A and B are shown apart, each in its own frame.
Chain A
């Protein structure tokens, strides 16, 4: 039991750390596409780690089944939303900022 507790704490803590990293990332990166990179990856991974940690806390019950449903849905919908966002921005004419020294 103690082992399961510690494992779930590690998962929840890493999920929270990833979330804060993503939140800092969307402030530190210079333009939209790099911010998309920061948010898209950490969002999916933060949700995954967090829900696995919560599922370890609840044990085998209907609650962990619901957590698994949220996990599966977020795991598919979050990258899809990120792709739709990048596609809409690129179709909408938003150009990525390029470093002029290396763009030739």
Chain B
């Protein structure tokens, strides 16, 4: 029962963050909201894995956490420089 409450809270948070991602006035607001959605997705996968007893799914949560961080940093670099191939020090 507590798991359904927790999952519901996470889903509400994802909905709020997605609304900010669609509305966001600047591109940084959108990246911030998407970072939040990614973190909450990790928690959702972890909660579902423990809830259903299939703890193998926690590996997916670990992978998602890694991909989320790399993705946010990559998108920030792309927004800042406009490409992926310069080092950033000479721009």
Contact = CB atoms under 8 A, between A and B. Distances in A.
A51 B29 contact: no
A51 B5 contact: no
Nearest to A74: B65
- Does more than half of chain B's interface fall in helix, strand or loop, or is it mixed? helix
Contacts of B6: 12-13, 15-16, 50, 53
Given A16-B8, A92-B28, 15 more contacts: A12-B2, A12-B5, A13-B5, A15-B43, A36-B32, A47-B39, A51-B43, A54-B47, A66-B62, A67-B50, A69-B62, A70-B61, A73-B66, A85-B32, A85-B35
25 contacts: A15-B43, A16-B8, A17-B9, A20-B9, A20-B13, A23-B15, A26-B20, A27-B16, A27-B19, A32-B28, A43-B36, A46-B43, A50-B47, A53-B6, A61-B55, A66-B61, A66-B62, A69-B62, A78-B39, A81-B73, A85-B28, A85-B35, A88-B76, A92-B80, A94-B28
